[in-house]
Amino acid sequence: MLKEMYNPTEVVIILWFISFITMIGIGLIAPLMSKYAQLLGASNFEIGIIFGSFALARTLAQIPVGYFSDKYGKKIFLLIGTFFYGFFTILYPFANSVIHLIVLRILNGISSSLINPVAGAYVATVAPKEKLGKYMGLFNSALPLGFSLGPLVGGVIAKWYGIEAPFYFCGALSFLSFLICLFKLKNIKINKDGSITYVSKLIVKYETPVKRRFFFMKFLKDRYFFSAYIINLIYYVVNTGIIAYLAVYASNYIGLDEIGALIAATNLTMGAFQKKFGEIYDRDSKYETLLVCGGLLLSAVGFYLLSIFPMCLTTLPPILKMFSALELVAIGGAMFLPAVNSQAMKRVGVEEKGAAMGVFTTSLNIGMFLGAVVLGYLADVFGLSNMYKISSLILIVVSICNYLLNRKKGKLCRL
């Protein structure tokens, strides 16, 4: 077995590129999926099923994937995920019914569960404890950056080459991620003493026997992991209001192209600031509560300003007011995401990072699924502007609860 010394930063950069390229591909087709489904005769409810099937399949697959990636190594799962995500994506243009699209979305959801969650667990495993926040912030920045660039590229490709072309391009990007993983990324082996060795074998069984479970409770019993899980889930419930409903809410004031630019700018800001806030988290654990609570409150302010932008500062252009509100949401997210990810992972053993990350990432998918349903209901009952006010209130409540919980933990520690 070949043993090599690897710089953790180099590993994280490789994993960043794999996730970045994959997220560009996902961003390419996500905005076009509803339109493509309509061309196949899908109703609005069926379009919801098409989108929801991806998140549901991804959620159900992540836990066993995390378990087996801890048992047999991370690289083989990244290879399988990137290859089959690309393969199933290029089949979309051949679908001729809603059922075909749902099946392909389920298969894509399962494939995607083998990519970003496993890559995130790889980062959490190789990162030194004193730099965990920095590396998680750097890695997490690939998701919003890739997803923000994807819709812009996808729109241009669809305009010039037809709505089917982005699916082929997305597949090609996924195959590129497969090649980078195959030739540039080494596997990792955890030794009996807890140290890490980089190896060339695709499948590595760990020497240390570990008691594993397939289900949530092992990690959710840890109050740090549990609180991080709940905070992340609620954040993505609220954040779905931007992804799913911003175009409807803002279309009376600005064009769809400007809405796309706003979403791209929001994701770029979030991605650009995550690494810096991750470094702040690493400096001292006392910053954890400040980053989490402060980030949630800043996002809450952004959501509230978004809810009242038609009525305030009427002399300013609507796009400028919306941009300011969404930037606050983005900076708030960049503050709290590295901290909450690190909070979830810091007490997990290196041999169980994959399973833990698989469980933790389900909070994102469940949050987005619940957000689409709950926020849609709130929008129908109270209106879109009040939906954003309720979102702001939810984040304020979560921030206060997190502060009180951490204050209680601090008192217990001093005792």
Looking at the fold, whether 218 and 313 belong to one and the same domain comes out as: yes
For 373-407, b/e burial (b = at least 16 CB within 10 A) is: ebbbebbeeeebeebbbbbbebbbebbebbbeebe
Pair (5, 51) in one structural domain: yes
Distance CA 292, CA 332 (A): 9
Residue 250 within any structural domain of the chain: yes
- Same domain? 159 vs 224: no
In a domain, 201, yes or no: no
Q: Which of 156, 189, 222 is the last residue of a domain?
A: 189
Identify the H or E element spanning 161: helix 142-161
* Sequential DSSP letters for 53-93: HHHHHHHHHHHHHHHHHHHH-SHHHHHHHHHHHHHHHTTGG
Are both 90 and 182 inside the same structural domain?
A: yes
What are residue 201's phi and psi, to 5 degrees? -70, 145
pTM of the predicted structure, to 2 decimals: 0.66
Please give the Cα distance from 203 to 77 (Å, whole number).
9
C-alpha 61/C-alpha 49 separation (Å) is 18
Rounded Cα distance between 312 and 299, Å, is: 18
Residues (pLDDT < 70) of the chain are: 1-6, 30-32, 34-35, 38, 42-48, 189-218, 244, 247-248, 255-257, 260, 284-286, 348-355, 358, 406-415
Would you say 259 and 246 are in contact if contact means Cβ atoms under 8 Å apart? yes
Structural domain total, the chain: 2
| Confidence at residue 191, expressed as pLDDT on a 0 to 100 scale | 64
Q: Are 195 and 207 in contact (CB under 8 A)?
A: no
Instruction: Using the Cα atoms of residue 281, residue 284, residue 289 and residue 293 in order, give the sign of their dihedral.
Output: negative
195 located within any domain = no
Task: Tell whether 288 and 382 lie within a shared domain.
Answer: yes
Backbone angles phi, psi at 318, to 5 degrees: -55, -40
Co-location of 273 and 396 in the same domain: yes
Residues belonging to the chain: 415
Which of 142, 170, 108, 129 shows the shortest CA–CA distance to 14?
Answer: 142
What is the spatial distance between Cα 329 and Cα 323, in angstroms, rounded to a whole number? Answer: 10
CB atoms within 10 A of CB 39: 9
Asked whether residue 298 falls in the same domain as residue 382, the answer is: yes
Residues 38 and 90 in one domain: yes
- Show the tokens assigned to 362: 């389900």
Helix (H, G, I), strand (E, B) or coil at 189: strand
339 Cβ neighbours under 8 A, 6+ residues apart? 133, 277, 278, 281, 287, 288, 291, 292, 295
Distance CA 200, CA 66 (A): 21
Cα gap 329→263, rounded to integer Å = 11
Residues 163 and 264 grouped into a single domain: no
pLDDT tens for each residue of 236-269: 888 877 776 776 677 778 765 677 677 778 877 8
Residue 206 lies in a domain: no
CATH number for the domain that contains residue 304: 1.20.1250.20
Residue-wise burial string across 95-131, b where 16 or more C-beta atoms lie within 10 A, e elsewhere: beebeebbebbbbbbbbbbbbbbbbbbbbbbbbeeeb
Torsion of CA 400, 405, 410, 415, to 10 degrees: 140
- Judge whether 234 lies within some domain: yes
Residues 164 and 110 in one domain: yes
* 361's tokens: 């990432």
Q: Distance between CA atoms of 203 and 125, rounded to whole angstroms?
A: 17
Strand order in the sheet with 196-199: 3-4, 196-199, 187-190
Helix locations, 251-311, DSSP H: 256-283, 287-308
Tokens of 95: 């679908």
Tokens encoding 348: 């997990």
Give the integer Cα–Cα distance in Å for 342 and 228: 9
**By C-alpha distance, which of 123, 152, 121 is closest to 24?**
152
The C-alpha atoms of residue 223 and residue 278 are separated, in whole angstroms, by: 21
Q: Which of 172, 189, 206 is the last residue of a domain?
A: 189
The verdict on 231 and 137 lying in the same domain is no
Say if 320 falls within a structural domain.
yes
Q: Are residues 224 and 357 in the same domain?
A: yes
Phi-psi sector, 313: left (phi>0), alpha (psi -120 to 50), beta: left
CB contact at 8 A, 266 and 330: yes
* 199 belongs to a structural domain: no
Is residue 200, in this structure, part of any structural domain at all? Answer: no
**Residue 302 sits in which domain range?**
214-415
